[in-house]
Amino acid sequence: MEPHLILGIGELLWDLLPSGAALGGAPANFTVMAGRLGSHAAILSRIGRDDLGREAVHLLDPLPADAGYLQVDPNHETGRVTVELKDGQPSYVIHEPAAWDFMELNDDWVRLAERADAICFGTLAQRALESRQTIQTLAAQTPSHCVRVFDVNLRAPFYSSEVLQESLSLATVMKLNDAEMPLVLGLLGLPASEPADPAGLRTGAERLLAEFPTLRMVAVTRGGQGSVLVSRDAWHEHPGVPTRLSDTIGAGDAFTAAMTRYMLRGADLATLNEAGNRWGSWMASQQGAMPPLPDSVRAQLNDSIEARLV
């Protein structure tokens, strides 16, 4: 069988960490992990005609993510984010404008969208009108079987109720974290869920499913405490996988990529949760969002997940 075609649409940028610069951006992180898990994964983003853009392509070249569809902007710089870490948790200063604010709809991207098995997009790359229109048009061009993942990824002040509404009207899967749940519900004018425990998160997810008919599942991550997955007819809680924390950059994106891979294989919620937590936990034990991945580690994690498949 041909590998699934998975697209990450949005920001490709450099995280300027205390330890140095690291390539990142949630859709790019997602795409690299999807490629590492065996899919044909393509990054749809825009970089500058500058040293950081050239270095991004150089770094991506040996990774299993298709960077051949990146656009090059002659007028705007490759994206940068200044990251500060406190107890392993990042805070961000996202510089603007960036090349990925000006992603253009082109025929190559449309053709990819028309045969995609899954796509992932978020709010940050929709802060500028041109990229917002491009992302939403591509999501609307995907076939009916496509898993359309809206990974909320709120970064103040770059989100709004309008972007949430429009994105959720296109998505089949929504992924957010427990801290984002009350913010999202409030922006959408829905009653806030009670305490951010699994029962309260389930209630919030059910309100979102009731409000948006295209949604089939809501995934809520809880950091080291695991995650809650809620579909229209079932739900599942995972306690998380203990790990030695390095930093959390890219952990949620690894969760999303692993969950998406097993959704395309028709796995049940328990397997989706196991896959997401296993890979998210591994990423949190590493530095940056695209660390080296030894074959032995990949095989070990895949074996532990595959054992759950019927």
CATH number of 144's domain: 3.40.1190.20
pLDDT tens, position by position, 203-253: 999 999 999 999 999 999 999 999 999 999 999 999 999 999 988 889 999
Average pLDDT over residues 259-265: 97
Confidence tier at 83 by pLDDT (50, 70, 90): confident
Sign of CA dihedral 183, 185, 188, 191: negative
CA neighbor of 172 nearest in space, from 213, 228, 122: 213
310, pLDDT greater than 70: no
Return the percentage of the chain with pLDDT > 70, whole number.
98
Average pLDDT over residues 288-309: 90
Peptide bond preceding 18: is omega within 30 degrees of 0, i.e. cis?
A: no
Quote the domain boundaries for residue 240.
5-306
pLDDT band, residue 75 (cuts 50/70/90): very high
Largest CA-CA distance found in the chain, in angstroms, rounded: 52
Predicted pLDDT at 92: 81
How many Å is the Cα radius of gyration of the chain?
A: 18
The helix or strand, by DSSP H or E, that contains position 41, with its residue range, turns out to be strand 40-44
Query: Which pLDDT score, from 0 to 100, does residue 2 have?
Result: 83
36 vs 307, more confident: 36
Share of the chain above pLDDT 90, in %: 86
Bond before 157 cis per omega within 30 degrees: yes
Higher pLDDT: 193 or 269? It is 269
Overall domain count for the chain: 1
Q: What is the pTM of this model?
A: 0.95
Sign of the torsion angle spanned by Cα atoms 127, 91, 170, 214: negative
What is the predicted pLDDT for the residue at 87? Answer: 76
Task: Summarize pLDDT for 88-129 with one digit per residue, the tens.
Answer: 677 888 999 999 999 999 999 999 999 999 999 999 999 999
Task: Supply the mean pLDDT for the chain.
Answer: 95
Output the pLDDT for position 50.
97
Report in angstroms the alpha-carbon separations of 292 from 32, 33, 175, 297: 11, 11, 25, 10
Strand 40-44 with 118-121, pairing: unpaired
